[in-house]
Amino acid sequence: MSEPTDFTAILAHWASKQAEAIAITFGASNWTWAELAVRVRRNAAAQRSAGLVPGDRIAVLDLNHPSCLELTLACAQVGTANAVVNFRLAPPEIVYVINDAKARLLFVGPEFAGIVETLRDQLPSVEQVIRIGGADDEYEAWLAAQEPDTKAYHAAPGDCFVQLYTSGTTGFPKGAMLTHRGMLAHSRNVSASQDFGPDSRVQIAMPLFHVGGTSYSLIAINSGARAYIMRLPDPAAALAMLETEKITHTFFVPALMAMMNQVPGAADRDYSALKAVSYGASPMPLPVMRASLKLFPGVMQQVYGMTEQCGVVSLLDPADHVDPAAAHRLVSAGKAISGVEIEIRDPATGQPVAIGEAGEIWVRSEQIMGGYWGKPEATAATITPDGWLRSGDGGHMDGEGYIYVTDRIKDMIISGGENIYPAEIERVMAEHPLLQDVAVIGVPDERWGEVPKAVVVAVPGATVDTEQLLAWCRERLASFKCPKTVDVVTELPRNPTGKILKKDLRKPYWAGRERQVV
């Protein structure tokens, strides 16, 4: 196979080379590579029939389903892009993402059809809503009405075909435009370290709105591997699948692994087919790490990455997990993977710092996003003219190239693998009529790593009911973003220029810990 430049060529290659091999398994259903190619080509025809042109966006709001991957691959063929919506978002956040993407078609799973009906008049760009699955499925008829279209848009390497939303420092999510070049580079770079190939059996347990779902699926597509898509990341079902389907590769977040270790009989199953159990998106608590190493000996690989780099940028390999002479590396994020450069820079000057000195983690690779959709200023603040991406994570690098993530320059909270920006929560809470001031910080949590906590000041003379305040948040924010606790204080600590000193607020909760993230 000559070096491909887009995913349309990759799909065509595997549909020709191994037409009858199974490409996707979802529950009791299987799609061969030939069948997948036909479905994607019908999908492309349907998009064109609906009047979509290169540069347009569609959106998917659903739990994991093969249609989302089909739509992404069809977008690659048409020149459009799939904006996959985080199904955990609250209704106002869902409206924002769909409108920000200017999605012309909206594909909705049965669990969300009712929500979309109530929001329909708030989605001016959406021309058609198509239901996926369930008793009212419209997607299959939408496909069947078209003949397969083999015409491929001549995509440039930098063209976006999937758009994943990250939480925003300004209080609103940003659409990271992920390109053919970026996703192909990510697939190659990760495959080089994890031995993916046509014989691989890849479990897709993470949501497709996350790079741990979509990017991992595209690694499988790129490799000609068989992908097993789970509707939801259920710990017992995931463990059962590892054994019964002889899964070779999978990716989990630490919060899911913590639950897996509690599943009765988990240690009695046969996981001998596994080659790589990747984990990441948030740091792994050491007790969960030790239990997981017993459950999956010799195959655990920590990965560190970000949506803006299509996923993984560094890896801590299995040998580093069990080397007694290097136990300290278990709290590192490993070394840069093939094709990726990582440096620690002074966040103020942008200059490299000395080995062992703290700074901001900068990353450069072909995996880099095309920018934030419709937000050139945010893009310019994140990507330097010479191609370095400022991660916003604070850390240091040792003399052997191991990276240690110690803090967040961007004031981000990672809870159970989900990125949460306090600005999003503060924006909502600031609208409450009884609040004069608010700050949100991350505090340690044994299950989720860390969770949001709000520290608020009431308007003079008012009394704040914290339970009512939390209910206010739940109506307007995804549940995982809502503060778990609220403290009412008389004032917030500020520096002479008026900036809230969040480090002072966080300090009591993180006392005695080596790093300020879990």
> Which residues, listed in sequence order, are joined to residue 393 by a DSSP beta bridge?
408
Nearest to 408 by CA among 420, 400, 399: 420
Look at residues 101, 61, 99, 57 and name the one whose alpha carbon lies nearest to residue 78. Answer: 57
Tell me how crowded residue 68 is: count the other CB atoms within 10 A of its CB: 26
Counting beta carbons within 10 angstroms of the beta carbon of residue 123, is it exposed (0 to 12), middle (13 to 18) or buried (19 or more)?
A: middle
- Tokens describing residue 513: 């810990």
> How far apart (Å, rounded) are the C-alpha atoms in residues 266 and 248?
17
- Give the span between the Cα atoms of 345 and 354, in whole angstroms: 9
What is the CB-side half-sphere exposure of residue 168 using CA atoms within 13 A? 20
CB-CB contact of 107 with 64 (8 Å): no
What is the reported pLDDT for 518?
44
- Res 501: pLDDT: 83
Degrees to nearest 5, angle at CA 500 with 497 and 503: 120
CATH number, domain 1-155: 3.40.50.12780
* CB contact at 8 A, 387 and 328: no
Task: Specify whether the CB–CB gap between 61 and 112 falls below 8 A.
Answer: yes
Prediction pTM value:
0.85
In angstroms, rounded to a whole number, what is the distance separating the alpha carbons of residues 215 and 184? 10
Write out residues in the chain with pLDDT < 70, as ranges: 1-2, 168-171, 283, 410, 495-499, 513-518
Beta-strand (E) ranges in 286-412? 300-306, 311-316, 335-336, 340-345, 359-365, 389-397, 403-408
- In degrees and rounded to multiples of 5, residue 194 shows phi and psi of -130, 10
Domain ranges within the chain, ordered by starting residue: 1-155, 413-510
Encode pLDDT of 187-218 as tens digits.
999 999 899 999 999 999 999 999 999 999 99
What 3-state DSSP class applies to 288? helix
Instruction: Specify the pLDDT at position 284.
Output: 76
* Total H helices, total E strands in the chain: 16, 24
pLDDT at 99: 98
Q: Are 179 and 159 in contact (CB under 8 A)?
A: yes
Q: CA 45 → CA 48, 145, 205, 402, distances in Å?
A: 5, 9, 29, 48
Amino acid identity, position 92 = P
Domain 413-510 = CATH 3.30.300.30: yes
d(CA 281, CA 357): 24
Q: How many CB atoms lie within 10 A of CB 157?
A: 14
DSSP state of 431: T
H/E segment holding residue 215: helix 211-223
